[in-house]
Structure 1
């Protein structure tokens, strides 16, 4: 059964059978903006470009690398990005993720102790102006969901309006065990590098 996490909740990644989670996906699904035409007719759709990214840090909170639309996999292949979606769902919600980042905890470098997931609106579309935008962090593959740890509705979530970036969550290693912190916080940042710096300063 899916765990529907509260914002700020921390969980262990040990399953009920005692095994540890290994393969994690972060999926984002969002819609294009309905444009208002003359007298409200024929406005069409305005493409929305949201960008999911993943930042890897060592135990000293130093950045190791970032996986994003310009760098689709980490050097050792533990983190992989499905590719840049520039538009969102033009034809309405298809229920599928537009971008997916996969993480294999077992393949990470021994030095990596924090894995943070962030979201940025590339062209500066305010999260509150997007008709629907949901995030789910789950165990499985891009085509199969086994168990959901966290879900966020950022289009209608309180506090997301007026923001173009957010920290989704951070996986972190404590005493050799991986855990997850569901952050779900918008930030005042405009660019990916600024959001990564915010993670470093506030969420590790």
Structure 2
């Protein structure tokens, strides 16, 4: 497993060699505990609803399709969202987007993964947030990017997967932005392509 920093890239390959066929982008987060007496009694302002999205782009930077909490599957069925987690409670991935790389249309060259707070909570209230790519055929984590750093932003362009020499490459983006959905963040998203 490779732990990426903002701006770093890694070629995604099966651990035993060969071409990846099925991957998942997992997103996890916790609610930051309040400091002082409020934190001692479990206070902290309630749950945080983060939403993961996957946007499919062609070589001309045109949006081909999108997968998010309002559309849980791409039109061709190659990308499927696990569904909306509205709390971040529990261990492990809170939302997962599964991608069948073999079924992606050939014109799709880049997948951009975003996260945003639909309710408008800022990342100041979020702790331990990460995104990770898993080879689902082997159950092996390939790369992870910690979405570190609190701030007043309500969204982030997390990472992108791009076709590269017959395979795929992941780049950690970590571009902070604002928006209740990916649609509000489209200018920042297009700037990463």
Q: Which TM-score band (shorter chain)?
A: 0.7 to 0.9
**2:144 pairs with one of 131, 150, 172:** 150
C-alpha distance in 1 between matches for 2:81 and 2:173: 21
Give the match for residue 53 of structure 1. 53
CA contact (8 A) 1:14 1:21 kept: yes
Summarize the Cα distance change of 1:32–1:151 in structure 2 as closer, same or farther, 3 Å threshold: same
TM-superposed CA distance for 1:168, in Å, is: 1.1
Matched, 1:81 2:97: no
With 175-184 and 105-114 compared, the bigger mean Cα shift is at 175-184
Structure 1 counterpart SS, 2:71: coil
Give the match for residue 167 of structure 2. 177
TM-superposed CA distance for 1:169, in Å, is: 0.8
C-alpha distance in 2 between matches for 1:132 and 1:14: 26
* Number of positions where the alignment pairs a residue of Structure 1 with one of Structure 2: 191
TM-superposed CA distance for 1:16, in Å, is: 5.2
Summarize the Cα distance change of 1:197–1:22 in structure 2 as closer, same or farther, 3 Å threshold: farther
**Deviations, residues 19-69 of structure 1 (Å, cap 9, x unaligned):** 0222111112222455689x7457475121100000001111100111000
What is the TM-score when the length of structure 2 is the normalising length?
Answer: 0.86
CA contact (8 A) 1:56 1:112 kept: yes
- Summarize the alignment of residues 30-49 of structure 1 with structure 2, pairs less than 5 Å apart: 30-32=29-31, 34=33, 40=38, 41=41, 43=43, 46-49=46-49
CA contact (8 A) 2:23 2:134 kept: yes
